[in-house]
Amino acid sequence: MSKYTNPFIARTREIDSKKQLLSSHLECVANRAKQNATAFGSGDLAYVCGRLHDIGKYSDKFQDRINGAEISVDHATAGGQWLLQNGKPQKLATIAAYCCMGHHGGLPNGGSERDSGDDSTLKGREIKKIDDYSAFKQELNEKLNLTPPDFKPTDGFSVAFFIRMLFSALVDADCIDAETFSHEAVQPRGGFAGIHELNAKLSDHIKPFLNQTSELSFLNSKRTELLKNCLAAAENPSGLFMLTAPTGSGKTKSGLAFAFKHAALYNKRRVIYIAPYNTIIEQNATVFEEIFGKENVLRHYGNYHYDDSNEESSNKRYSSENWDFPMITTSSVQFFESLFSNRTSVCRKLHNIAESIIIFDEAQMIPQPLLISCARAIAELAKNYGCTILLATATQAKLDKYLGGLTPIEIVDKPMELHNVLKRSHIKVIKNPIADNELSELLASNNQVLCIVNTRRHAQQLFIKMRSLCDDGVYHLSTTLYPAHRTQILEDVRQRLKSGLPCRVISTSMIEAGVDVDFPVVYRAEAGLDSVVQAAGRCNREGHRSADESIVYMFKPEEHTPPVSIKPNIAAAGQITQSYSDLAAPETLTRYFEQLFYNKGEDALDAKNIMPMLNDGYKSYSYPFRDVAEKFRIIDDTTKAVYALFKVPELENRLANGERSRELFRELADYAVSLYENSDIRRLQELGAVMRIKDRTGKQDDILVISPEYYDEHFGVHLSPEGGKDIFL
């Protein structure tokens, strides 16, 4: 018997010592979790999770802690134990147990029968000795029914996916109830328009394109045709769609029109726009804010932060935790890594993905080592969570085999015809390897030209050669330049292109990531065919010249070996270029991806073994959530920001004075260079090229600032040991 009698206490508020009743907390979390999970037909099961997740707080030790005892108490295991010992049917009980046991520390591995009570797995915690919590029966005496979801998971992957979604419904409910009690009210969320109002705003924006009174140019007539195709396709029921349209066709706005009309017709909750690179997201998020109003667009990617400087920003800060917003722009890294995470803070938002429209811009950039698991996640969202998916790109990958039996519906009636009428350049293959001396002379012979290569070293060496040949208008672009520096260079480049002045740019592939520039000639070092086509999107972008005179040359550098990671892509491109004349045609790209995936084999498309890890646990319902989360990394070598602040000393001073506000970090983002921790940053630290900023206490903070002498006006961050410059690979 407990030494305590009801009412039992869940927590005490610091500001006034007010206590929250445990029965009230459990009921509030259960009801909110039920509401969260209703979108995917699992409200009743989520309700049970909410009622049981904190029953460990009924132990004497936890109540002692509430009353001031400085002790640590495991209160998260009890609910899971009770479910595993008493819940029926067993599989549903196990699903709910994962959620209850993981609601603080994250979803655990399932483990095995060999595990002991000292193990942190589900099996280990099932037999762990914990404090008596039976007093919960004094306040929770209703019968708790475990009701299955409206759909039936078909394999281990599907069950594990469902557990994460149910977990999300629970932990978000728990977090909101906690913050509501701690702050005496639900923290500010909202302040945005609904889907129907946003659809009306977009309709007003596109109306002039649909109701042209003057004669349209040929290009604009095709853009309007694509827009009308998207609006017509939006009337179809929820499902999986493809939008295969070339660069410059108005694909982004047309896809957005599809999404919001479809959302309004089918009562979807939000539109989520996903792109592979921050440069694309930033560019399009600005466009979205112009259409819908800044208050209606949530940015959640990279180092973008919201603060409490005003009501709108404060709303967005809280909404970025659980994606309770009508229009979200995010990165593919953020999106996919969240879907495979086990962490409470990361998984909070997952339940709000259900009943959404999800646009994957540049869909061919789904990371190939994780392609099968990513494609399967897309299929799960479409089949079981009410999502409509739009795969939008000029270079559509063939994913049908990995989409769980779903076949995407192509929105464009005749993609090949659209490609032909909007074709702006012609790709030519230079068969013989070309040396840098010859290449630089070819580039110098063009008044305006873009050359894209595969490595930083090659870009820098070629830039040096070009500077020796040309007196003016030679630029270098790379991710080693901080964003504000890149922006200034691109502004200069665009102005020179527009004015007809000499402009020769040597760049890494970063310029292919949605950067809006228009060159008459482009040279692209051999790469995957999709990358070459993306490079072609920088040639004659505005269509002012004929396609025949706008040439993209694909060449093989004689002195530079391509990175190992893209050698299979180059090989597949080489096989395809022998058989097809139009290398940018949709049919050619389909064959390219088929060849690439065949060459690599399925093992390479699930390089982290995510699928077997999840499917192998189906019989025993033992899923390695923690292991999967650790393995599912789109970027294996973690990156870290190094700040170049020598031109903005006021920002460095704010850091040095101890400021760590979200507003400051948003300003710092323009001066951040992301570098690999295990290679780039380590080498810089060995040279003393970076320093750590100290906080107010005098301790070294984990904020790195690059010394001015290690930042070049052309190359950005570099290494300069004594005796010469060691250029980044």
pLDDT over 70, % of the chain: 94
Whether 726 has a pLDDT exceeding 90, the answer reads no
The CA distance from 198 to 113, in Å, is 53
Q: Write out the H or E segment, with its range, that includes residue 389.
A: strand 388-393
Cα–Cα distance list, 67 to 4, 12, 64, 588, 611 (Å): 11, 9, 5, 70, 47
Both tokens of 429, joined, read 């293959």
146-195 per-position pLDDT tens digit: 998 888 888 999 999 999 999 999 999 999 999 889 876 666 666 789 99
Strand, coil or helix: what is 552? strand
Query: How does residue 14 score in pLDDT terms, banded at 50, 70 and 90?
Result: confident
pLDDT over 90, % of the chain: 71
Phi-psi region of 688 (alpha: psi -120 to 50; beta: other; left: phi over 0): left
Nearest residue to 661 via CA among 307, 320, 313: 307
Place of tokens 């964003």: 483
Nearest residue to 307 via CA among 441, 188, 415: 188
323-345 per-position pLDDT tens digit: 999 999 999 999 999 999 999 99
Whether 729 has a pLDDT exceeding 60, the answer reads no
Q: What are phi and psi of 616, to 5 degrees?
A: -65, -20
* DSSP E strand stretches across 441-485: 448-452, 474-477
Specify the pLDDT at position 216.
65
Task: Let me know: does 391 contact 363? Beta carbons within 8 Å.
Answer: yes
Specify the pLDDT at position 249.
85
Q: What is the mean pLDDT of the chain?
A: 91
Count of C-beta atoms within a 10 Å radius of residue 226: 24
Fold match between domain 195-413 and domain 421-600: yes
Specify the pLDDT at position 680.
86
Whether 77 has a pLDDT exceeding 50, the answer reads yes
Specify the pLDDT at position 695.
61
Specify the pLDDT at position 37.
97
Specify the pLDDT at position 308.
64
Range 421-600 classified under CATH 3.30.420.10: no
Task: Let me know: does 107 contact 98? Beta carbons within 8 Å.
Answer: yes
Whether 728 has a pLDDT exceeding 70, the answer reads no
Nearest residue to 693 via CA among 715, 721, 728, 665: 665
Burial-class residue 544 by CB neighbours within 10 Å (0-12, 13-18, 19+): exposed
How close are the terminal C-alpha atoms of the chain, in Å?
68
Whether 510 has a pLDDT exceeding 50, the answer reads yes
Specify the pLDDT at position 59.
96
Q: 9-182 has which CATH code? A: 1.10.3210
Query: How does residue 725 score in pLDDT terms, banded at 50, 70 and 90?
Result: very low
Nearest residue to 192 via CA among 127, 300, 269, 267: 269
Superfamily grouping for domain 195-413: P-loop containing nucleotide triphosphate hydrolases (3.40.50.300)
274-292 per-position pLDDT tens digit: 999 887 898 899 999 999 9
Specify the pLDDT at position 664.
87
| In the chain, where the domains are located | 9-182, 195-413, 421-600, 639-717
Q: Is the pTM of this model over 0.75?
A: yes
Average pLDDT value for residue range 554-577: 95
The region of weakest confidence among 199-213, 492-506, 568-582 is 199-213
Task: Let me know: does 347 contact 175? Beta carbons within 8 Å.
Answer: no
Both tokens of 514, joined, read 């949605």
The CA distance from 279 to 642, in Å, is 18
Average pLDDT value for residue range 349-365: 96
Q: What are phi and psi of 265, to 5 degrees?
A: -70, -35
603-626 per-position pLDDT tens digit: 999 999 999 999 998 989 999 999
The CA distance from 314 to 307, in Å, is 6
657-679 per-position pLDDT tens digit: 888 877 788 889 899 998 888 78
18-63 per-position pLDDT tens digit: 999 999 999 999 999 999 999 999 999 999 999 999 999 999 999 9
Burial-class residue 371 by CB neighbours within 10 Å (0-12, 13-18, 19+): buried
Fill in the DSSP letter of residue 109: B
Whether 131 has a pLDDT exceeding 50, the answer reads yes
Residues 6+ apart with CB under 8 A from 331: 274, 275, 276, 277, 278, 281, 301, 302
Place of tokens 């020598």: 646
